[in-house]
Amino acid sequence: MSFLAPLALLGAAILGPVIVAMYMLKLRREDRQVSSTFLWQRMVRDVEANAPWQRLRPNLLLLLQLLLLLLLVLALARPFFRTPGISGRNLILILDRSASMGATDGSPDRLSAARDLAVRLVDQLPDQGRATIIAAGGQMEVPASSTTDRRELHRAIQEIALRNGGGSDLSPALTLASALAAREDESEVAILSDGNVTLPPDLEVPARVRYFPVGRSGENVAISALALQPGPGGQTLFAQAINYGEQPATRRLDLYLDGELFNAYNLTLNPQQEQSIVTDIPASVQIVEARLNEGDGLVTDDRAWAVSTLGDETTVRVVGPGNRFLETALELLPGVKVLLAEPQATAFEQTAAQVPVTILDGVIPPVLPPGNLLFIAPPRSTDFFSVTGEIEFPSVHPAPGDEPLLRNVSLSEVSVLKAVRVVPGVWARVVIDSEPGPLLVAGESQGRRLAVLSFDLHQSDLPLQVAFPLLLSNLVSFLSPGSGAEASQLAPGQPLALQVDPAITEVRLTRPDGTQLSTQGGLLQSASLHIQDGQMVYADTDEMGVYTVEEFREGALQARHRYAVNLFAPGESQIAPQPDLAVPQTSGLQTTVARQREGRQEVWRWLAALALVVLLAEWLVYHKSGLAYLRERWRKARARL
């Protein structure tokens, strides 16, 4: 224990002897003659006790007054204990709520442990200290902003819930924290996470940053893939599990077909080993569920679903001079029908519901066709992007993190001879980058899904790589939401989108928990389910499982679509906590975030409260005889009534 104002302890050294001396010195009284001292024995004892410099007799008042003095002096000295915590007056607390924080090596999970730690950090703030709470993981939220109200901060922390979707990118949260810290002195940023996060590459935080790691174990076996494809005489199921831990693991994988147990497989996995299962199932099966039994550190990735797309077909229109690589790869994709159009085509009669995807290979017509678009080596600018020149021999840099368009795609051997320099709008995210400019961007604008590949396939060896059909399959799935096997698989938090014919009057959606939503009255309505520009969009897909979408025309069912939402995210399933995070700070002296920092827990309030209790006790003791007299008068008064 230490003191913030140790000089206050001198008060005890000065005032303590004074109080004792007052009890040792004799009070001056007048001498009076009495007939007898028999009834004055108590008075005589007081006189003897007050004789000058006599030995002190036990006196409760003296003890209480000395205790009161000691407590007051200690409170004025402001004692504190050093605890792992925060010492700044402006705390910016970033709490990771991504899927890996659901690991059960906390109390009961990592997020709960992080919430408890966050409450303790808030309680350790100095007087008039303020805090901002930022929930990271998925869409960033700020449940409490720069407030000194501890109750509000506690409520905001406890309301932070786990998010399965959106990944664990801390870039938005750290960017906001940097802006807040730059406005106030004595700011400190605290990161509560297991460390399995993505950090901004070019950001220096203008404040001290402290990382508080949460979690202990990294042992986890996850279902990493579950796919259902049309096969000979039925359907082919592919399932894969991987051991992300450092110890061998034995698990049982159960497969359920439309809710009934189909088969069970015993898996023995060495560290970082994967095991696959391929089996044929009947054509009538609509939903497949895989379950890993004997739960481990993270239960969220122990279940996965796949839905049948047998009979579903997506039409992809290709406008261009002809490209054998592109056309062959598209024809090999299951559930894809290729429609070729001449490069000089200017009119497109089909609606977006009939032809949801158009690939513009080296051409841009005067009027863009309806639906979602993939531009390959665009020759000129459009409303969505600008073409400003050419790039020669660009290097290929895939986007970091779990980019859905690069799932199972390796670009390490891909070379590009020449590409156009594309400057996209704010709608685009960079999927494949290079130093001179992006090579592949994707996003959504004006109700369309768009992707731009900036190089001609003939100017690259990409068509000769295994990565090409995988990348093309991911792009078609992204551009044709609601169609095909790949499109029926969504990541948590990924919007569910479906092209809807103008004749459709109602769309109903059933969530995995059975809740039904509708674009019209009669069922539970939701602002998150709506139709805009011929496309139905539903964004609240954080819950994993099967979502069912039904299209109605004047009350009659026209079509039914199913979507499986699964956590196939290695960045979340690798749950081993990281001991440190590297966050650059403007001081330049500290680039590695320390795990703990000593804070101060002051106890003067408790001492002051205890002193008040002692003062009350001293008053009661001093007035004991008077209080007894009053009690006796009260008793006699009640007796007369």
Binned at pLDDT 50, 70 and 90, residue 41 comes out as low
Instruction: Report pLDDT for 61.
Output: 75
477 Cα distance to chain centroid: 26
Instruction: Report pLDDT for 47.
Output: 55
Instruction: Report pLDDT for 401.
Output: 72
pLDDT at 430 > cutoff 50: yes
Domains and CATH numbers, the chain: 2-81+604-640 (no CATH), 86-216+577-596 (3.40.50.410), 221-309 (2.60.40.10), 314-486 (3.40.50.880), 489-565 (2.60.40)
Per residue in 340-355, pLDDT (tens digit) is 998 888 788 888 878 8
Residue 15 contacts residue 89 (beta carbons within 8 Å): no
Tell me what the mean pLDDT of segment 441-451 comes to.
89
Tell me what the mean pLDDT of segment 59-69 comes to.
78
pLDDT at 332 > cutoff 70: yes
192 Cα distance to chain centroid: 10
Tell me what the mean pLDDT of segment 571-578 comes to.
91
Instruction: Report pLDDT for 630.
Output: 75
Lowest mean pLDDT among 55-64, 77-86, 296-305, 433-442: 77-86
Task: Please state, as a whole number, how many other Cβ atoms lie within 10 Å of the Cβ of residue 131.
Answer: 28
User: Could you tell me which residue, 79 or 144, shows the higher pLDDT?
Assistant: 144
pLDDT at 592 > cutoff 50: no
Cβ-in-10-Å burial (0-12, 13-18, 19+) of 386 comes to middle
Instruction: Report pLDDT for 87.
Output: 63
Instruction: Report pLDDT for 591.
Output: 42
pLDDT at 527 > cutoff 70: no
CA angle 178, 179, 182 (to 5 degrees): 85
As a residue count, the chain comes to 641
> What's the CA gap between 147 and 91, in Å, rounded?
10
> What's the CA gap between 389 and 393, in Å, rounded?
14
Per residue in 459-506, pLDDT (tens digit) is 999 999 999 999 998 899 888 865 555 567 888 988 888 878 888 888
Per residue in 312-330, pLDDT (tens digit) is 778 899 999 999 999 999 9
Task: Find residue 254's DSSP bridge partners.
Answer: 264, 291
Instruction: Report pLDDT for 281.
Output: 93
- The arrangement of strands across the sheet holding 221-231 comes to 221-231, 234-243, 274-281
Instruction: Report pLDDT for 440.
Output: 96
* C-alpha distance from residue 240 to each of 132, 273, 282, 507 (Å): 42, 11, 20, 34
Per residue in 201-246, pLDDT (tens digit) is 788 888 888 899 999 999 999 999 998 887 777 889 999 999 999 9
Instruction: Report pLDDT for 25.
Output: 60
CA angle 365, 369, 371 (to 5 degrees): 145
Helix residue ranges, H only, 427-551: 467-479, 484-487
Tell me what the mean pLDDT of segment 431-447 comes to.
91
User: Could you tell me which residue, 222 or 616, shows the higher pLDDT?
Assistant: 222
Tell me what the mean pLDDT of segment 549-559 comes to.
89
User: Could you tell me which residue, 97 or 55, shows the higher pLDDT?
Assistant: 97
Lowest mean pLDDT among 24-33, 127-136, 465-474, 540-549: 24-33
Lowest mean pLDDT among 7-21, 35-49, 607-621: 35-49
Per residue in 352-399, pLDDT (tens digit) is 878 889 999 999 999 999 889 999 999 999 999 999 999 999 999 998
Q: Please report, rounded to a whole number, the percentage of residues in the chain having pLDDT higher than 90.
A: 44
Lowest mean pLDDT among 109-118, 332-341, 422-431: 332-341
Instruction: Report pLDDT for 167.
Output: 78
Instruction: Report pLDDT for 447.
Output: 76
Taking phi over 0 as left and psi of -120 to 50 as alpha, with beta for the rest, 559 belongs to beta
> What's the CA gap between 167 and 439, in Å, rounded?
23
Instruction: Report pLDDT for 54.
Output: 56
Per residue in 419-428, pLDDT (tens digit) is 999 999 899 9
User: Could you tell me which residue, 271 or 607, shows the higher pLDDT?
Assistant: 271
Lowest mean pLDDT among 82-86, 101-105, 549-553: 82-86
For the stretch 584-589, contacts whose Cβ atoms lie closer than 8 Å and that sit 24 or more positions apart, written own/partner, are 584/203, 584/204, 584/205, 585/204, 585/205, 585/206, 585/207, 585/208, 585/209, 586/204, 586/205, 586/206
Binned at pLDDT 50, 70 and 90, residue 594 comes out as very low
Mean pLDDT of the chain: 84
Per residue in 136-177, pLDDT (tens digit) is 988 899 999 999 999 999 999 999 999 988 778 898 999 999
Instruction: Report pLDDT for 596.
Output: 47
> What's the CA gap between 96 and 192, in Å, rounded?
6
> What's the CA gap between 100 and 220, in Å, rounded?
11
* C-alpha distance from residue 146 to each of 91, 139, 143, 188 (Å): 8, 20, 10, 12
Residue 317 contacts residue 212 (beta carbons within 8 Å): no
pLDDT at 338 > cutoff 60: yes
Q: Please report, rounded to a whole number, the percentage of residues in the chain having pLDDT higher than 70.
A: 85
> What's the CA gap between 73 and 430, in Å, rounded?
63
